[in-house]
Structure 1
């Protein structure tokens, strides 16, 4: 039986940075009741959620592994806070050529090998790490943005893999890591 699942591809920071970003999400939930961003671990989305046959998940990972075989690890820099309109608050990720190149390669892979449609976010890639969205009400936006700016941090790390996240029970789970060239 064919079972369609939801997946997406992301860069996930190392545990110490993951925890710092997660703490920001937790503080927003405690103060404002905003919790939707807690449904996924802190990450940088490289390919937005897509439907895929769960029975072919191993094939997906194998194909992605082939695609990333020549991908060199690179540095990701977190610096500052940004927003999309008055409904999304995020930690800013510095655009770099290696990051932009990875996203373009993954986008092309998904289009050609998985036959996924190019979405607006695929064409207008803006790397970020979301800390509040969807249930962030416009009336609280300025205050939430201010709180996130108070808690924001600057960090950099070397990323060496792409993570396949899978939606299970209404939450996104870190499912499989696909390493870059080692």
Structure 2
């Protein structure tokens, strides 16, 4: 089965992201707006139980983190995706590193760019048009995130929560 680890922002930020995603993101109905902390990976039932236990340990070590969505940005020319850029904080980067230990599959293939996707799979002309509009609209939103979620993918491609872990930093 396919799993992933994500953090969900507040309803306020989700509603703002969804106001764009409804129109510009074909994955709108598959997952709630989120910050991907560990991209999709395969695991069987026994592996995921051990991973959930390790995630519980990580949550005890890592502190809640502030996010600051500062602007709309893009991954072009790699992909025509648009996103709210999340400024990397020490706590967020420490959490990301901890989630990529050898036990949890090692480091990712790509550098970590904290973000919340608001549009993807756009044509080149649509990307240029929408990016120009959203860049001018801008965003400036701050909040604290105190939990992360282990997700799994259902047969229809949608994602749902397997387990939730509250970040406490008690064993830092």
Task: Please indicate the TM-score interval, normalised by the length of the shorter structure.
Answer: 0.7 to 0.9
Match among 143, 147, 163 for residue 161 of structure 1: 147
CA 1:180–1:141: 2 relative to 1, 3 Å? same
Q: RMSD between aligned alpha carbons?
A: 2.0
Match of 1:113 in 2: 103
Q: Displacement of 1:80 after TM fit?
A: 0.6
Task: State the TM-score, normalizing by the size of structure 2.
Answer: 0.85
Distance 2:134 2:2 in 1: 29
Gap runs ≥5 in structure 2: none
Offset of 1:58 from its aligned partner?
3.3
**1:174 paired to 2:170:** no
1:53 is displaced (CA, Å) by 0.7
TM superposition score normalised by structure 1: 0.81
Cα deviation, 1:3-42, whole Å, max 9, x if unaligned, reads: xx111111110222212211221133xxxxx523543211
Structure 1 residue runs of 4+, over 4 Å off? none
Equivalent pairs counted in the alignment come to 166
- Deviations along 1:80-128, one digit per CA (max 9) or x if unpaired, are 11001141111110111111111111112xxx224x253322xx11111
SS in 2 for 1:80: strand
The residue that corresponds to 1:31 in the other structure is none
Does 2:12 correspond to 1:16? yes
Distance 1:175 1:16, change over 3 A: farther
Distance 2:23 2:134 in 1: 9
